[in-house]
A and B are shown apart, each in its own frame.
Chain A
Amino acid sequence: MAAERKLCLSGKGVTKVFGLGRNKTVAVDNVDFNFYEGEVISLVGESGSGKTTLAKMLLGLINPTEGEIYFQGEKRDLSSHRKKKEYWKSIQAIFQDPFSSFNIFNKIDTVLLDCIRMRGGGGLPYEQKVAMMTEACSFVNLKFAELTNKYPFELSGGQQQRLMIARIFLLKPKILLADEPTSMIDACSRATILDMLMQLRDEIGMTPIFITHDIGLAYYVSDTVYIMEKGKFVESGSADEVILRPKGAYTKRLINDVPKIYEEWDLSTV
């Protein structure tokens, strides 16, 4: 049978509340989860269901109001900058909007050099750094020689998202949180981006976690799907099970709302 599955991220009673009193929003509401190494996970939900909030907690960018998140089965310790930095060597992210993900005052070189430095390569000779950056760029079908001294905003959305993947290539994290990585770029570049991410997963053995409202995309890429509604997980399981044989009404609605081409798309149910 399958080898023992290793936990990479898990959570118990994770809750995030924004605001106080009348403005109180429970963005993530007491969720438990176990993400295993090596499988592709998707978190699916409509806008405002708390996907991004959960992702930020997983990344350690914000703290849960309640509950605990475990990394490889152990409690995370993010009490100091050094420990956070250590954690971020293992977990990285790609954000939704490529145009706002990069500091517009930093050149592409700076972005990539930061990654090399983070992996402890800050002291390497410059030629070697260039070789590493060139390798990372060619992995995502970009030419480093053409990018050097340019700014990220001079690239198209799809190219910027590929640059983001080049960054991940250099950082080689154990876990990658991809928050709607393809929702702002056109459909033609989407396949390229997804393929590259899956290829990267095979090459460096990371665990990707996709966040999306497009259940079709989740079905295409993931092994395990978690459906999120108003901060709670309402259904989870293998992709085939959840998407081809959904149980919950919410999941059924999400599937129903994706435009179909092989079947009739039922417009009456909104």
Chain B
Amino acid sequence: MEKVILDVADLTTKYITRFGEDIYAVDHVSLRVEDGKSLGIAGESGCGKSTLALSLMGYYFPPLHYTGGEIIIDGHNISGMKPDDVRKSILGREIAYIPQAAMNALNPTQKIIHFIEDVVQAHDPTTSKQEIYTMAKALFESLGLPAEVLQKYPVELSGGMKQRTVIAISVILRPQVLIADEPSSALDVTSQKMVIKMLRNLMDNGYIKAMIFITHELPLLYNVTDDIMVMYAGQIVERASSKEAVFDPLHPYSKGLMGSIIVPEEGLRDVKLAAIPGVPPNLKNPPPGCRFAPRCKFARAACTAASVPLRELENGRSYRCILSEEELREAYAREDRQHGR
């Protein structure tokens, strides 16, 4: 078995709102990413994907608070560390994070190279500007970005170029793990593809050892990551290899998600997309038992009686539903027959 790079056990974090309410946006999440592997996180808006990404770095600031669990990066437990130590020695070096809409957060008055200088010197003030320039130029060129970008201001770059620049900067300190939160969602298909290619390049050429990729676009995850984890209302509802997750989802919510995929491939026009009715629950007081129950076609009394544990299957898959694998498959087959598929 490969070495585990990122090992998270029972991580729970909450937001404390201005009104003093607790919102558990990451609820007992456990996950492992092995050396050379990537993990995709999918789920509806508001299900806690970005919060999970933030929480994984072990760097908490209000309103987000840590309440329990462990984060181990390459054998190094960071969950108990002080925020300041995390910022100095973990962020950027062990684990790099590209926030949602990061490309719009670049300082418009600063050239890209100056931004890189700030990043590098924050970690090692002794590095000279010349060294940083050489380093950045080599990195950019090896990632297929023209070195002229370094001398430009963010406004002079197109959206796709800005996003790729942000990604290149995020790996300049050679982190082990890269977390990318919706890096391509605001881009058109062509720029999106370039971003994806770059992320794949980072993995394939060993710039990073593990990657977590967050998006709500399943076809993207299918093409980028080894595994897919589906989140619903702060919890993991399914984890499987990308292929299984897309073509053979088990959890009724994953099944719904997979039904809403749109690809320009023959036959799509004849299928009616499966929309999931209803809205996700309010995380302030989630429903008891299975959180998906109010929207689930197969819900029954037992679903809401007690909290539903994550079932582990032999091949490393897991899902959170009271129905067994067989029962679920049978239910899906029945549905397909009804719709004449």
Contact = CB atoms under 8 A, between A and B. Distances in A.
Contact of B189 (A187, A191, A220, A254): A254
9 contacts: A186-B45, A189-B44, A214-B262, A219-B268, A254-B190, A257-B190, A258-B263, A259-B220, A261-B247
A192 B189 contact: no
Contact of B274 (A186, A191, A214, A262): A191
Nearest to B189: A257
Interface residues of A, number: 42
Interface stretch (B17-25, B89-97, B194-202, B320-328): B194-202
A199 B257 CA distance: 21
Interface of B: 44-46, 158-159, 187-194, 196-197, 200, 216-220, 222-223, 246-247, 256-257, 259-266, 268-269, 272-277, 279
B266 A194 contact: no
Contacts of B216: 186-188
Contact of A213 (B189, B194, B257, B272): B189
A151 to B, nearest CB: 18
A217 to B, nearest CB: 5
Contacts of B275: 188, 191-192, 195
Interface in A249-270: 253-255, 257-263, 265, 267, 270
B256 A188 contact: yes
A256 to B, nearest CB: 8
The 7 closest A-B pairs by CB, nearest first: A191-B273, A259-B219, A186-B216, A213-B188, A216-B264, A257-B189, A191-B275
Contacts of A218: 264
B222 A261 contact: yes
B113 to A, nearest CB: 25
B265 A188 contact: no
Contact of B260 (A156, A187, A257, A262): A187
B193 A270 contact: yes
A31 interface: no
B193 A257 contact: yes
A156 B273 contact: no
Interface in A220-270: 220, 239-240, 243-244, 253-255, 257-263, 265, 267, 270
Contacts of B277: 141
Contact of A263 (B261, B265, B272): B265
A262 B158 CA distance: 31
B219 A217 contact: no
Given A46-B191, A261-B263, A270-B194, 17 more contacts: A47-B188, A187-B216, A187-B218, A190-B260, A191-B259, A191-B273, A195-B275, A215-B189, A220-B269, A244-B266, A254-B190, A255-B264, A259-B219, A259-B220, A260-B223, A261-B219, A270-B197
B262 A259 contact: no
Interface of A: 46-47, 141, 156-159, 185-192, 194-195, 213-220, 239-240, 243-244, 253-255, 257-263, 265, 267, 270
Nearest to A159: B279
B268 A188 contact: no
Nearest to B184: A259
A261 B265 CA distance: 9
A139 B325 CA distance: 36
Contacts of A265: 223
Contact of A185 (B45, B192, B197, B257): B45
A146 B276 CA distance: 21
Nearest to B246: A261
B260 A191 contact: yes
Given A156-B46, A214-B189, A188 B222 contact: no
A243 B273 CA distance: 19
Nearest to B219: A259
A46 B189 contact: yes
B45 A190 contact: no
Residue of A188, A191, A217, A244 with most partner-chain B CB within 10 A: A188
A216 B262 contact: yes
A154 to B, nearest CB: 13
Contacts of B192: 257, 259
A130 to B, nearest CB: 23
Contacts of A240: 269
Residue of B197, B217, B257, B275 with most partner-chain A CB within 10 A: B275
B291 to A, nearest CB: 15
A243 to B, nearest CB: 5
A259 B220 CA distance: 6
A248 to B, nearest CB: 15
A25 to B, nearest CB: 14
Contacts of A258: 189, 219, 263-264
